[in-house]
Structure 1
Amino acid sequence: MSNTPPTPETARFLEVNDNSWIIHHLIVTRYQSKPSQPCWPDGEGALFSIDDAPTPTPPTRPPSHVCPISDAGNNFPASLTWKIGLAHLRIDFNNLGTSEHVTLEALAKRSLGFQIPQVYYHKYLGKSYSIVFSDLPGNPLIKAWPTANQAARTRWTQQIAEAYHELSKWRGDRICAVDGGNLQCFWLSSTTPSVPGSYNPEVLRANCEEMGLDCSELVFAHNYMMPLSFTVDEVQGLVGICRWEMAGFLPKDWIRTMTRANSFTQSWQAVKSSWSESDINDFGDKIESALKDKGFKEFWLNNCRWREEKRRRQEQEEANRLQPPTV
């Protein structure tokens, strides 16, 4: 197998046969009985497993129309996610901080009022990081929201705010991931594209201070507000929270600031295709109100100004770089 790190452009998705598929450097296989490799249910009585793709690569074909693996549709420029049975496989191609399985292991040791995913598999290859995590019970909020009544919508958003408040009781002494490592928060990076130094605690603190955020109160935050992050049902309301790859200790003021700036993030494409404008506005308004009621402050305008200044600095640096040297 090649040790060349994957990228979104080079990631392969090919079919070996009716029960095996290659996704870049990995092979996913469907079994009728439990294999020795890490595995998870397909939802129809069989199991999926995952392992390193064999070398040489076996003969392959394009995925057939009955292929059980699908694009999860919540991709970033540096990551891809697939739905495989009752789990998701995500490959991050530029992993510069603490990995999600570390955060989930730490969260599993705490008493939480909601469920989190189970990790079935993780692997590093150069800068890339692959993780398979379980689906959460309940209905994805992104599917439930358009047909929900106002009472259900209010309940869900209030429960999300309560979950964020619950997490914020866990305190830290610097801006970092759960294990003290770098926190890969794209929205707090002052460099594009990100580099290894973009996310160290001192750099992130300086960026937060430039925004005028109070850095004396650092709390644990999910840091990934979007409809794809939550599952709900009619009995419990909020059931589970997923997408913990950017969770960590942050200024408390950042939580609502981030949500106010963008409460949809990676779910935006799916939201645009299935929600009305009224649905979209209602979600943003209700989340904003619920977080405010829990005592979270927002510095959205400061964040906008900081991002604009960051853009100007980068443009000036690029212009200086391209300017021919004086003779």
Structure 2
Amino acid sequence: MPAVRDSIRQIDDQSWLIEGSLLLSRKQAPSSGLASWSDGNGDFFVLTSSSNPPSETQPLSDTSEIQKVYDAREGSAVWRVGEAFIKLKELVTLDATREHTTLQYLRNKQPLDFNIPEVYYYTDPGNRYLIALSKVPGRTLNEIWYELEETKQQECVRRIAKICIDLATWEGQAISGVDAQDEMNFDPAYVLKSCKEIGMDCSSFVFYHADLGPGNILLDEVDGSIEWICTKFRCSSGLDLPQRAGNVATTDWRARVARELNRLGFSDAVDDWATWWGLY
């Protein structure tokens, strides 16, 4: 089995093989299959099962219209395919909550103040999880933060903090996914033990997104809407902006959101966390 990053291979200029068993083809109209979506130019991509895959395929070229937009070494990758994204990841925990389950949970909570992508298709091919999702309008804050005026930057901060407030009204019974399964890469018992050790209030559990970094938030510059995609703002460098020339700190985004969350009543345990990690 090829590495995750190499899981989409080109057959010809109109078809591609995914994970050795899924055939992606360009058609003039949506047709029967597992899923189909627009290519953005008047035609459609159609996903079907391939019982007899071709033996000869080629890696995606640098000029291919199917472009990899995210690559986490061997663990996961994301490709832009027309008006959709295809995401593939290794399953660390086989019974973990799947992304399509969380997205359906969010859809059932409508109306919400953010866009939710449509799930076109999902499958667990062996020890891997694949999902095809619709694109939503906008560009990531990583791309546009330094272009935004101060008032627009602060509006983004307020919007994300408000979303965190809204999501925190949904309470659960344990540290788990929305279907009570384990989270993808975390042992719930260990997470709970660690939180208690640094003095966090664990008397209730609320819904949250664990990675609200600027690369995971899309701003629609037409209508100003933000896609959901809170914690860790005070201490996680993974939520930093990309480095740019000038005097703006890469921590600008997460520092602002942390301040806004504090203003809205969210507390933090950064000092206890740092002591727990031996940083003090």
TM-score w.r.t. the length of structure 2 is 0.87
Distance change >3 Å, CA 92–CA 229, structure 1 → 2: same
The question of whether the paired residues in 2 share the 8 Å contact of 1:157 and 1:286 is answered with yes
Match of 1:62 among 59, 74, 77: 59
- Partners in 1 of 2:165 and 2:41 — Cα distance? 38
Higher relative contact order structure (alpha carbons within 8 Å, sequence separation ≥ 6): 1
Match of 2:215 among 216, 228, 248: 228
Count of residue pairs brought into register by the alignment: 274
Match of 2:268 among 276, 298, 309: 298
The question of whether the paired residues in 1 share the 8 Å contact of 2:84 and 2:133 is answered with yes
- Partners in 2 of 1:231 and 1:18 — Cα distance? 31
- Which residue does 1:314 correspond to in 2? none
Task: Quote the offset at 1:85 in angstroms.
Answer: 1.2
User: SS of the residue aligned with 1:116?
Assistant: coil
- Which residue does 2:83 correspond to in 1? 86
Which blocks of at least 5 consecutive residues in structure 1 are unaligned? Answer: 190-198, 243-254, 310-327
Which blocks of at least 5 consecutive residues in structure 2 are unaligned? Answer: none
- Which residue does 1:240 correspond to in 2? 227
The question of whether the paired residues in 2 share the 8 Å contact of 1:12 and 1:24 is answered with yes
Task: Quote the offset at 1:95 in angstroms.
Answer: 4.3
Q: Which moved more, 1:14-23 or 1:58-67?
A: 58-67
TM-score w.r.t. the length of structure 1 is 0.75
Distance change >3 Å, CA 112–CA 74, structure 1 → 2: farther
Residue correspondence of structure 1 range 135-214 to structure 2 within 5 A? 135-184=135-184, 186=185, 189=186, 199=187, 201-214=188-201
Distance change >3 Å, CA 74–CA 114, structure 1 → 2: farther
- Which residue does 1:36 correspond to in 2? 32
Q: List structure 1 runs of 4+ shifted beyond 6 angstroms.
A: none
Residue correspondence of structure 1 range 222-301 to structure 2 within 5 A? 222-234=209-221, 236-242=223-229, 255-256=230-231, 258-262=232-236, 264-265=238-239, 271-272=242-243, 278=248, 280-301=250-271
- Partners in 1 of 2:10 and 2:220 — Cα distance? 35
The question of whether the paired residues in 2 share the 8 Å contact of 1:230 and 1:238 is answered with no
What RMSD over aligned residues (CA atoms) do the two structures have, in Å? Answer: 2.5
Task: Quote the offset at 1:88 in angstroms.
Answer: 1.1
Q: Which moved more, 1:69-78 or 1:40-49?
A: 69-78
Q: Spell out, residue by residue over 1:63-105, the C-alpha distance to the aligned partner (whole angstroms, 9 max, x if none).
A: 3454211111353651111111121111111242100000000
- Which residue does 1:50 correspond to in 2? 47
If each structure's helix is expressed as a fraction of its own residues, which one has the higher value? Answer: 1
The question of whether the paired residues in 2 share the 8 Å contact of 1:146 and 1:279 is answered with no
